Structure 1
Amino acid sequence: MLDETDRRILRQYLAEPGMARAELASRAGVTVATLWRRLERLQAAGVIRAERAVIDWRALGYAVEVSLRFTLDKTDPRAFDTFIAAAREVPEVLAIETFLGRVDVRLNVIARDMAHYQEVYRTRILTLPHIAEVEALMLISTIKEGEALPL
């Protein structure tokens, strides 16, 4: 599906998504017209799903990130749906992921500081429905982060 030109375009695009299209075309070794046609084709094929802003929440004063792993009480057949719907309403939840295995759901939660995290945890997280067990993992450092693929 992807040829070497598409891969070059995607490598450059991932490296610097905000780059001007003329510069992107130059770095990928194609004309601007070719770049636009290929980007449109990649978007139509669902390879490029969206262009988005990535906001550094630390720059906005959030210093704490905690990964919470939940095992749900699955006696209610709607437990997953109800839990996820309620978790979506918590503004401090950055990500919601579901798993097969001992852990059912993971939430990534941010807070300004430990006092704020304690408030969020007590008033918003522990009140989520169908929690059987919860485990917290506090982020110390991020070693590797990104969406780059081996293209």
Structure 2
Amino acid sequence: MLEEIDWKLLDLLQADARLSNQEMAERVGLSTSSCWRRVKALEEAGVIRAYRAEVDAAKAGLGFHALIHITLARHSREVVERFTAEVMRHDEVLDCFSTTGAMDYHLRVLCADLAAFNAFMEQGLFRIEGIAQVQTHLVLRPIKMRRVLPRP
């Protein structure tokens, strides 16, 4: 279980991972060595998995955003493994979730344009054996894309 001070550090790092250890320590009221030890412990426990830059997809040339909902024909180990391996192979797939309900998988996909999306669908997704149904929803505009975890 995380302590309040851990959450304060996580809040700071999620807002700006480029903060120095000294700056974080000052903001949360810790010594720099205590702050460093707590952040290191969060990293070692796997709570902090990585440090990355948040990139604006449209400004980086990836303006075509879609959500794809997939139902498998069968749920055998072979079909599921083939599907997940193929999804992992495509960089266009940002997120893939296995869910309950009418659809088995939900993918969030980014491509440069409609032609790139069509190529991804025809050369990638549509060639995976075992897919029974695919529904695609184009994202007109994002309303909320939260990257910061809520506190429990």
Residues 109/4 of structure 1: CA separation in 2 closer, same or farther (3 Å cut): closer
Query: Which aligned pairs between 1:48-67 and structure 2 lie closer than 5 A?
Result: 48-67=48-67
Contact map agreement 1:12 1:28 (CA 8 A) in 2: no
Deviations 1:20-62 (A, max 9, x none): 2221111122221111011112223332222233333322211
Distance in 1 between residues matched to 2:150 and 2:77, nearest whole Å: 40
What residue number does 1:139 align with? 139
Distance in 2 between residues matched to 1:91 and 1:141, nearest whole Å: 21
Distance in 2 between residues matched to 1:14 and 1:91, nearest whole Å: 24
What residue number does 2:69 align with? 69
AA paired with 1:144? Answer: K
Q: How many Å apart are 1:76 and its aligned residue?
A: 4.3
Secondary structure class of the residue paired with 1:58: coil
Secondary structure class of the residue paired with 2:137: strand
Query: Which aligned pairs between 1:72-151 and structure 2 lie closer than 5 A?
Result: 72-74=72-74, 76-151=76-151
My pick for the range that moved more, 53-62 or 32-41, is 53-62
What residue number does 1:17 align with? 17
Distance in 1 between residues matched to 2:103 and 2:41, nearest whole Å: 38
Residues 85/14 of structure 1: CA separation in 2 closer, same or farther (3 Å cut): same
Q: What is the percentage of aligned positions where both structures have the same residue? A: 29
AA paired with 2:91? Answer: P
Distance in 1 between residues matched to 2:20 and 2:75, nearest whole Å: 53
Secondary structure class of the residue paired with 2:124: helix
Q: How many aligned positions are there?
A: 151
Gaps of 5+ in 2: none
Contact map agreement 1:86 1:129 (CA 8 A) in 2: no
What residue number does 2:7 align with? 7
AA paired with 1:97? Answer: F
AA paired with 2:48? Answer: I
Secondary structure class of the residue paired with 1:94: strand
